[in-house]
Amino acid sequence: MSDFVSVARDGDVAVVTIDNPPVNAMSFHVREPLHQALAALRDDPTVAAIVIACAGRTFVAGADITEFGKPVQQPELRAVIALLETIAKPTVAAIHGTALGGGLELALGCHFRVADSNAKLGLPEVKLGLLPGGGGTARLPRLVGAEKALGMIVSGAPIGAAEALEAGLVDAVFDGDLLAQTVRFASEMVVKGGPFLPVRNRNDRLGKTDLAAFDRQATELAKKARGLEAPIACAQAVRNAISLSFDEALAAERELFLKLVAGDQSRAQRHLFFAEREAAKGSGKDAFWRKIAQVGVIGAGTMGGGIAMAFANGGFPVTLLETSRKALDRGLATIDKNYAVSVSRGSLSEEARQQRLDLFKGSTDYADLADCDLIVEAVFEEMAVKQEVFGKLDAVARAGAILATNTSYLDVNAIAAATSRPQDVVGLHFFSPANVMKLLEIVRAERTAPDVLATVVELARRIGKVPVVVGVCHGFVGNRMLAARGAESEALLLEGATPSQIDRVFTDFGWPMGPFQMGDLAGLDIGWRNRKARGLTAVIADALCEQGRFGQKTGSGFYRYENGSRTPVPDLEVEALIRAKAAEKGIAARAIDADEIIERTLYPLVNEGAKILEEKIAARASDIDVVWVNGYGFPVGKGGPMFWAGLEGGDKIVERLDHWHERTGKDVFKPGRLLRRMAETGSWESAVGR
Ligand code: 3H9
C-alpha cells in the first residue's frame, strides 16, 4: 500500500501494519494511507475483522510532534479515528511497546484493544503543554471511568498492561506472539458476533460518576498546576465528557487543543522535548561504548549515597568506599532507610528493595575498586582532597576504567592532571538528591576521550538521567548561572524588597520556590563557608548565619519554620535586620516592583547563559534550558531561560541590562556580545551562526 502502511491477510482477518520508525508517530504520510486502507477494508466483503498493529519497537507513540505549529494536512488523526468508528466489523488494536497520545487515541477508535504484557498505555500530551486532541478526553473516561481518566490525562503518566486490563482499557493481555494471538482474538469476536459498540457509544461507566468527588479531585489537581494551562484544560475536557454529549465534548476538546497548541507554554514544552533528546546526543555519537558492569562510588555521604543509589536503581552493582567503617555503616544505613521509605510509600516493592540492597558492597580499601569500570568520586569539595583521591585511583583502577568527579565547581582539568590518564577522566555533576534529580551535567575536560564521553552519556540515559555535556568553567553551566541569578539578591533586599516579596515574584513566574526559600532548604551555612574560604561576604546571609540561622535545619533562616514545619513564615526579625544593615550602608528603602525583580535576577541569568554559549561551555542554547528546567526548577511552561529570553525579547533584555549597568556599574548587567547579537537577529541559532 505504502512504505508506511501495509495490509496483509490472515484468513478473513486483515492486518494493517504501521511502519514509521523510530516510534511510529502518526505523521501525515501514515494517516493518509491508513485512512485509505481502512476505508477499503470497511467496504471489502471478504474481510471479517481488522487488526491494527505496528512494526518495530512500539505501537504508535503519538501524533507527530514535529507537525504541530504547521498547517494541518488532511486527513487529520480525528478523521482516521472517526472512520474507524464507522466500521461495523470488529476492529482490534494490537499494542506492544508504548501506545501513547494519538497512538492510544487511535486504539480507542477500535472496538477492542489487546496488549503485550510489557506494553504501556497513556495520554502524555499534558507534558507537551497540550491535551489529547484526538478524542482521548471523551473516549478514555467511557472505558475506565471519569476519575481514573482524569488522573491519567492530567498526570500524563502511562499505565502498564495489567493495570490497563483491570481498568477496562484493554480487553486482553498476551505474552509471546502478540500478532498471532490478536488475530485469534479477532476471529473469536467474529464468531461471537456483533453488534460491536464503538467506544463513543459506551456511556454506562460515565453515568456512574460521582460528580462531587470528581470536582474535588479536579480542584486539587488544578492547585498543583502552578500556572500551567494544560492540566486545567485536561480536567475541563474530561468534565465535558461527563456533562456534554459525545460530539459536543469532542468539539470542545478540539477548541481547547487548538488554543493550547498555538500557545507559548506548549511551544516551550515541545521545545524542551526535543532539547532533551538533542542534549543526550552530546557528542562522540559514533565512538565506542566502554563496557560498564561494575561501578564504584567514593564517599558515602548525602551525595555519594545518592549517586550509589542512582546506579543501583539502574541495575548496576556498586562498591561504596569510605575512609572509616563507621562512616561506611552510616552511609549504608541511610541508603537502607531511603529504600525502606520508598517501600512504605508504595513506590518500591519489598522484593525490589532487597534486589537493590544486594547490589551494594561496602569497603574502606581502595584496592576493592580495582574491578570497577566506572568510579565516581563524591568527597569533600576541595581541590587538594580531590587530587589526592584521583592520585590513589590512578594507582588502583584498572586500565581503561572511567574516573569521574562529582565536583560542582572545581576545575576538572586540574583533577585529571592528578592522574597519569587524563583521557579517562570526566566530570559527572549529579544534583542532590542524586537518586531523584534527573539532571546530570557531564563535564568534558580538555583531554576527556570521545568514547568516555559517549559511554557516560549513554549510561546516564540508562539510569534515567537527563544528560547534558558541558565544558569546564567555575560552576559549569548550572551553578555559574545560579551565581549570576543571585548576584543582586542582597542588593534588592537592602534597597527595600523583602525575601517573601522576591520569592513570591519567582513562584508567580512558575518556579516551585524562590531563591530565599531555596537557600533555606539547601542550608545557608554551605554558602557562608564557601564565601569565607574565598574571602567573600554577603551582608544579610552572613549576618543570619552568625546568628545560627542556617535555614530549615535550624528552624530559621530568611524565614521562620515553626514546630519543625517546612512552611516558610516571613520573619519580622529578618526584615528588621535587613533595614538595620541598609541603614548602616546609608541605603534608603524604596518600593521595588515585580518587573525590577525579574530584570535584576533573571536577565543576568540569561546574560550569563549567553556568555556560556559564546565560550562554548554549552553546545546549544537548548542545552542550557535542559539544565535549568531539570536541575533548578525553571518553569517548564517557559521552556528554560534561553527559550524564555526569546519570548521576552532579546532587545528588551539588552535595553534593560544596559539601563541597570549604567545605573550600578555592575558587571553582571553588562550584556555579552552574543546576547547583543541575539537581540539583533532574534534567535540564538542565528546569533551563533547556525
Ligand atoms: C499527541 O499525540 C497529540 C494528540 O493527542 C492529538 C493530535 C491531533 N513525534 O524518546 P526517544 C522522536 S502529542 C515526533 O529518544 P525512547 C524523538 O524526537 C504526542 N517525533 O526514544 C527521537 O528523535 P531523534 C504524544 C517523536 O525509546 C526519536 O523519536 N506522545 C515522537 O527513549 C526517539 O525518541 C508523546 O508525547 C513524536 N510523537 O522513547 C510520546 N516521539 O532520534 C513522545 C518520539 O531524532 N515520545 N519522537 O532524536 C516518547 O515519550 C518517547 O519517544 C518514547 C520512546 C517513550 C515513545
Task: State whether the beta carbon of 462 lies less than 6 angstroms from ligand 1.
Answer: no
Q: From ligand 1's centre to the CA of 65, what distance in Å? A: 7
Measured in Å, residue 446 CA sits from the centre of ligand 1 at 34
| Ranges of the chain with pLDDT below 70 | 1, 282-288
Residue 234 Cβ < 6 Å to ligand 1: no
Element (H, E) at 579: helix 572-584
Residues 415-430, buried b or exposed e (16+ Cβ, 10 A)?
A: bbbbbebbbbbbbbbb
Q: Pick the residue whose CA is nearest to atom 49 on ligand 1.
A: 61
CA–CA separation, 416 vs 470, rounded Å?
Answer: 16
* Distance from Cα 61 to the centre of ligand 1, integer Å: 6
Q: Could you give the residue ranges of the DSSP H alpha helices within 314-377?
A: 325-345, 350-357
Q: Give catalytic residue positions.
A: 105, 125
What 3-state DSSP class applies to 120?
strand
Class of residue 608 by CB neighbours under 10 A (exposed 0-12, middle 13-18, buried 19+): buried
Cβ of residue 133 lying under 6 Å from some atom of ligand 1: yes
Q: In Å, what is the CA distance from 434 to each residue of 124, 214, 440, 458? A: 25, 36, 9, 17
The confidence score (pLDDT) of residue 287 equals 59
Instruction: For a ligand 1 pocket test, name from 23, 234, 267, 270 the mutation site with the most ligand atoms within 8 angstroms of its C-beta.
Output: 23
Q: Is the CB of 115 under 6 A from ligand 1?
A: no
> Does the beta carbon of 305 lie inside 6 Å of ligand 1?
no
3-state SS, one letter per residue, for 554-575:
HCECCEECHHHCCCCEECHHHH
To 10 degrees, the CA torsion angle through 177, 183, 189, 190?
-160
CA 676, CA 682: separation in Å to the nearest integer? 10
pLDDT at 208: 87
Tens digit of pLDDT for each residue in 563-581? 888 999 999 999 999 999 9
Q: Could you tell which of 26, 59, 65, 466 is best to mutate to test the pocket of ligand 1, judged by most ligand atoms within 8 Å of the CB?
A: 65
Q: Is 98 in the pocket of ligand 1 (CB under 6 A)?
A: yes
> What is the number of the ligand 1 atom nearest to the C-alpha of 136?
5
Alpha helices in 193-263 (DSSP H): 204-207, 211-223, 229-243, 246-262
CB 75 near ligand 1, within 6 Å:
no
Rounded CA separation 280/285 (Å): 10
373 ligand 1 Cβ < 6 A: no
Give 271 Cα–ligand 1 centroid separation in angstroms. Answer: 13
203 lines ligand 1 (CB under 6 A): no
Q: How far is the CA of 650 from the centre of ligand 1 (A)?
A: 30
Q: Whose CA is nearest to atom 54 of ligand 1?
A: 23
Q: What are φ and ψ of residue 223, in 5° steps?
A: -60, -35
Eight-state DSSP code of residue 226: T
Rounded CA gap, 413 and 428, in Å? 13
Please tell me the predicted confidence (pLDDT) of residue 288.
Answer: 65
| pTM for the model | 0.95
DSSP state string for 495-558:
TT--HHHHHHHHHHHT-SS-HHHHHHHH-HHHHHHHHHHTT---HHHHHHHHTT--BGGGTBSS
E strand segments, 154-201 = 159-160, 172-174
Note the pLDDT of residue 526.
85
101 CA distance to ligand 1 middle (Å): 10
Query: What atom in ligand 1 is closest to the CA of residue 105?
Result: 5
Q: Give the E-state strand segments of 19-73 in sequence order.
A: 49-54
- Whole-number Å distance between alpha carbons of 558 and 570: 8
Phi and psi based region of residue 91 (left: phi greater than 0; alpha: psi -120 to 50; beta: remaining): beta
